[in-house]
Each structure stands twice: as structure tokens, then as C-alpha cells.
């Protein structure tokens, strides 16, 4: 058998392996249901990546025994379906697999313990709030990090529906865009520079609030009107 015949055989083998793996993966995806995509928790994220990786090995690695890879992919899918069924029946199993939602903001205060437990950085929290058109933490009554990684927010009363335009109230232009000034005891000098503020101004504002050391501050944010919102370290979890 010459080289051309070997290459031709490998080509058609890969085509066959890929086609079968694609069809089987499509069927398995339908069996796992829509939750696997619509509510992508950490557990479903890991299982989805693993099943996709097995399918890729079947399709592209000729050294991987085809039948063994196929059985592995099908068995992994069945285990995923089984664990989802157990989680549906048992609350404890559901918590083990998917964890539980975590409150990260309560009445405009960041829950420091929750942030540390989730290893969630303040910049990431602010980004998720901005994605919901919320630029100030003081507008938030509750913020809950769901098991699928999304942030659910309940705004404070008076912030969610009627606007100043609706009630014909005057709406002055904001002096600043709400921005983080202090994060975990350290001043964000870049934001200060962009806002044309100084460190002396920050210390003065803290002094007015009876805060003597910047290390006491977990998070500080300048508001649209120029005031400073401060969360001190040691905020207890609700």
C-alpha cells in the first residue's frame, strides 16, 4: 500500500469519525435538555466542556479507539442526566452540584465576606452592574450572584420605575460618573486623575465621615453629585 492510499484511507476515516461523533453529540445534547444551555451552572459548564472534548478526540485523534471514545461520551452524558435528576429530587444534592445564590450587596452595602468567598473582584461586580445600566452601588437594594454566574439586582425604591422626566422634576446634569475611588484600602489613582480629583480631597472626605485611615475602607465610590459613598471593612454577611 503506497503513501497516497494510506493518506486517502486516513482522510475518509476522519470524515466518518467526525460525522458519527457529530450525530451522536447532537442526539446527546437533545437528551440533556435545554437547561444545559439556558442555565449554565458550573456543573453543566464542566460537563459540557468534557463531552465536547471527548467528541473532539473521537473526531480528530486516530489513536483514540473509536468505540471506546463513543462509549465514554455516552456514559458521561448519562451520568450528567442522572446527576441532574438527583438534583431535581434532592435540595441537598442541588446545593452540592450547583451551590446556592449569594447576596453580594445588601441595602447599598457590599458584603465583604461574600465577595471573598466567591473570589469576586469589585471591578467585576461594577462591570456586572453597569451591564444592567446601574452605575452606582447606592442605587441597589439587593444584588444576588446566581448559580449560573448572572447578577440579579433589586433596585432601591424610587430607582426602578418612574424617572424625573416622568414626574416633570428638574434633572440637573451629573457632576461625575459614579466611579470607584478606593478598593480594599487602596486609592485608584487612575480614576482620581480622570475625575480631576486629588488624594487630599479623598482624605478630607473620609475625615468628614470620621474615618482616620484609608486602610479601614473596603470600597469607596464617588457619586454623580460629587459626594463619596464609603463601605468600611468588616461588613458582616446578611
Please list the pLDDT of the chain residue by residue as tens digits (238 residues).
454 544 455 667 777 777 887 887 777 777 766 554 545 566 777 777 787 788 888 777 766 677 888 888 888 888 888 887 887 777 777 777 777 888 899 888 889 888 888 888 888 999 999 988 898 888 888 898 987 788 989 888 666 555 555 556 565 667 887 888 898 888 988 888 888 899 999 999 999 999 988 999 999 999 888 889 998 987 555 4
Strand partners, 106: 109, 142
- The dihedrals phi and psi of 152, each to the nearest 5 degrees, come to -100, 130
Q: Following DSSP, what letter does each residue of 117-156 receive, concatenated?
A: HHT--HHHHHHHHHTTT---GGGEEEEEE-TTS-EEEEEP
3-state secondary structure of 221: strand
Q: Following DSSP, what letter does each residue of 25-94 receive, concatenated?
A: HHHHHHHH-THHHHT--HHHHHHHHHHHHHHHHHHH-TTS-HHHHHHHHHHHHHHHHHHHHHHHH-HHHH
Is the torsion defined by CA of 11, 13, 14, 16 positive or negative? positive
- How high is the pLDDT of residue 160? 56
Kindly give, in sequence order, each residue whose CB lies less than 8 Å from that of residue 61, ignoring residues fewer than 6 positions away. Answer: none
- How high is the pLDDT of residue 50? 81
Instruction: Provide the CA 53 distance to its chain's centre, in angstroms.
Output: 23
Kindly give, in sequence order, each residue whose CB lies less than 8 Å from that of residue 22, ignoring residues fewer than 6 positions away. Answer: 55, 59
Asked if residue 97 lies in contact with residue 43, where contact means CB atoms within 8 angstroms, the answer is: yes
Grid coordinates representing 164 are 424625573
- How high is the pLDDT of residue 53? 82
Q: CA 188, CA 125: separation in Å to the nearest integer?
A: 16
- How high is the pLDDT of residue 104? 92
Kindly give, in sequence order, each residue whose CB lies less than 8 Å from that of residue 26, ignoring residues fewer than 6 positions away. Answer: none
What DSSP element (H or E) covers 200? Answer: helix 199-208
Amino acid at each position: 500500500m503506497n503513501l497516497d492510499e494510506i493518506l486517502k484511507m486516513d482522510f475518509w476515516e476522519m470524515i466518518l469519525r467526525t460525522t458519527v461523533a457529530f450525530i451522536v453529540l447532537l442526539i446527546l445534547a437533545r437528551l440533556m435538555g435545554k437547561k444545559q444551555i439556558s442555565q449554565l451552572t458550573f456543573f453543566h459548564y464542566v460537563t459540557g466542556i468534557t463531552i465536547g472534548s471527548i467528541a473532539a478526540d473521537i473526531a480528530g485523534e486516530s489513536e483514540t479507539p473509536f468505540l471506546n471514545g463513543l462509549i465514554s461520551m455516552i456514559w458521561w452524558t448519562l451520568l450528567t442526566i442522572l446527576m441532574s435528576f438527583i438534583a431535581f429530587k434532592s435540595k441537598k444534592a442541588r446545593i452540592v452540584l450547583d451551590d446556592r445564590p449569594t447576596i453580594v450587596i445588601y441595602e447599598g452595602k457590599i458584603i465583604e465576606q461574600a465577595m471573598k468567598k466567591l473570589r469576586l473582584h469589585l471591578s467585576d461586580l461594577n462591570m456586572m452592574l453597569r451591564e444592567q445600566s446601574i452605575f452606582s452601588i447606592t442605587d441597589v437594594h439587593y444584588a444576588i450572584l446566581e448559580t449560573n454566574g448572572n447578577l440579579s439586582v433589586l433596585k432601591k425604591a424610587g430607582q426602578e420605575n418612574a424617572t424625573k422626566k416622568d414626574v416633570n422634576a428638574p434633572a440637573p446634569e451629573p457632576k461625575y460618573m459614579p466611579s470607584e475611588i478606593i478598593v480594599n484600602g487602596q486609592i485608584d489613582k487612575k480614576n482620581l486623575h480622570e475625575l480631576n480629583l486629588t488624594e487630599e480631597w479623598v482624605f478630607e472626605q473620609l475625615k468628614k465621615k470620621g474615618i482616620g485611615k484609608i486602610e479601614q475602607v473596603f470600597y469607596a465610590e464617588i457619586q454623580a453629585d460629587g459626594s463619596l459613598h464609603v463601605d468600611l471593612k468588616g461588613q458582616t454577611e446578611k
